[in-house]
């Protein structure tokens, strides 16, 4: 935590390598957050870039006393994702499920058996499709908790809501996710991914 604060100070001092280090350390997490939120690889790339440009411009507003850099970064990313969602909501309603899940970019492992890879791909598609059907409030809570492994208090800080609300959203999100997954497996005629 202190290390990151020092990196930010070095970065503000004009040290380009410090910015590169920060970027390398957090790009993956932010990309995953964006991907889980949008469900599209190309969109996640663009959003990750936009988030980091915003972070670069707003870096002077970060106060290490207020909290960890990663929490601040998540908050910036989350706000940007919500803005993006509002902007593109209408387009999203008209987009097809295939398009949403078409950009899955799980790297096929050379060691992985083709059938296992196919099953993994199918699980991934079902999960992402189910996530896409959650409301933004529930989705962001579930993504931050179950994919980004943030604590409840960190999520509360990122979302700017009380911890009780976070717990409630996560709970409702998980229930909804379970219902959607079950429905999707039913639609596929019981050929859903085995867990």
Partner 1 sequence: MTHLELENLIGEYVEGQLPAVRRAELETHLAGCADCQFMADDVRRAFELCHAAEPLEPPPWLVPKILRATLGERVPSLRQRLADWFRPVLQPRVAYGIAMAVFSLSMIMNVAGINLRQVRRGDLNPATWVGQANRNGHLLLGRVEKYCYDLKVVYEFQSRLQRLRAQPTETPRPVAPAGGSTYGAPADEGLLASAGNLNAPVLAGLYAQAAGWKRSARSTNP
Size of the site for partner 1 (CB under 8 A): 44
What residues numbered 84-113 form the site for partner 1, per CB under 8 A? 105-107
| Residue 117 touching partner 1 (CB under 8 A) | no
| Residue 123 touching partner 1 (CB under 8 A) | yes
Residue 133 near residue 151, CB atoms below 8 Å = no
Q: How far apart are CA 124 and CA 45, in angstroms?
A: 18
Q: Which is nearer to partner 1, 68 or 122 (CB)?
A: 122
Measure the CA dihedral 171/172/177/182, to 10°.
Answer: 100
What residues numbered 131-190 form the site for partner 1, per CB under 8 A? 142, 146-147, 167-168, 170-175, 177-179, 181-182
Phi/psi-derived region of residue 14, left when phi > 0, alpha when psi is between -120 and 50, beta in every other case: left
| Residue 24 touching partner 1 (CB under 8 A) | yes
b/e sequence 140-171, b meaning 16+ C-beta within 10 Å = bbbbbbebbebeeebbbbbbeeeeeebeebbe
| Residues engaged in binding partner 1 (CB under 8 A) | 16, 19-20, 23-24, 27-29, 31-32, 35, 41, 45, 48-49, 52-53, 56, 105-107, 123-124, 126-127, 130, 142, 146-147, 167-168, 170-175, 177-179, 181-182, 193, 195
């Amino acid at each position: 935590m202190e290390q990151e604060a020092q990196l930010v100070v070095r970065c503000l001092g004009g040290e380009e390598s410090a910015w590169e280090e920060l970027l390398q350390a957090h790009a993956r997490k932010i990309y995953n957050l964006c991907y889980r939120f949008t469900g599209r690889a190309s969109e996640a790339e663009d959003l990750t870039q936009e988030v980091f440009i915003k972070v670069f411009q707003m870096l002077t507003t970060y106060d290490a006393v207020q909290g960890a850099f990663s929490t601040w970064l998540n908050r910036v990313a989350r706000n940007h994702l919500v803005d993006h969602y509002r902007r593109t909501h209408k387009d999203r309603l008209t987009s097809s499920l295939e398009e949403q899940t078409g950009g899955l970019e799980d790297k096929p492992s050379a060691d992985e058996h083709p059938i296992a890879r196919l099953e993994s791909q199918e699980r991934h598609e079902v999960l992402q499709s189910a996530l896409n059907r959650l409301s933004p409030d529930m989705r962001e809570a579930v993504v931050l908790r179950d994919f980004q492994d943030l604590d409840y208090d960190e999520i509360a800080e990122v979302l700017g809501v009380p911890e009780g609300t976070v717990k409630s959203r996560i709970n409702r999100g998980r229930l909804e996710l379970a219902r959607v997954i079950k429905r999707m497996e039913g639609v596929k005629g019981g050929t859903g991914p085995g867990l």
